[in-house]
Amino acid sequence: MDELCCHLGLAQAELPAELGPLREILERLQHEIFILNAELATPAGQPPPPHRLEERHLQRLEKEIDTFSESFEERHAFVLPRGTTAAARLHVARAVARRAEREVVRLHRGQPQRPVVLAYANRLSGLLFAMALTVNRQSGFREVAPHYGT
C-alpha cells in the first residue's frame, strides 16, 4: 500500500491542470491509504487505530467508479495499459493496487480484516482503471483491446 501511495503521487504530478478534480481524488486516496495502512498494521487483539476505513469511503469509491465509467460508450474489460503519461502512471498504480489487494487477502487469512477493508482494497484498482481511461479519453487517445491471437 505504501508503494501504491507513491505511485498515486507520481500520477498526480503528471495530470494536466485541467484535470484538477482527478488530482484531488488522488490526494484523497493517499490520505485514505494512510488510514488503511494504520488499520492493517494493528495486530489482532490490540485496540483499533483512532481512524479507520468506513463504509462511506467504500461508497465514495463505488460512486466515483460509476461516474467515470458511465461516460464510456462501451465498457472495456481489458485494454493495453498505455496512453498519456498520466494515464500510463494510473495503469501502473492500478497494477500495484491489485498486488496490494492480494497482500491484504493474504494477511486476512492469518489476521482477519473487516469486510470494508477487503472491499476497499478490491475496488481501489477499479477506480484507478476508470481514471486512466478518463485521462486518455480527455486527451483524445483511443484505447486498444489486447489481441490474443497474434
Residue 150 has pLDDT above 80, yes or no: no
pTM summary value: 0.93
In a domain, 81, yes or no: yes
Report pLDDT digits (tens) over 9-31.
999 999 999 999 999 999 999 99
**CB 27: neighbour CB atoms within 10 A?**
13
Number of domains in the chain: 1
In a domain, 88, yes or no: yes
Rounded to an integer, what distance in angstroms lies between the CA atom of residue 106 and that of residue 87? 29
In a domain, 68, yes or no: yes
In a domain, 146, yes or no: no
Match 486516496 to its residue by C-alpha cell: 29
Report pLDDT digits (tens) over 42-74.
998 899 999 999 999 999 999 999 999 887 766
Report pLDDT digits (tens) over 88-145.
999 999 999 999 999 999 999 999 999 999 999 999 999 999 999 999 999 999 888 8
In a domain, 41, yes or no: yes
Where in the sequence is the domain holding 59, given as residue range(s)? 2-139
Cβ-contact 123, 63 below 8 angstroms:
no
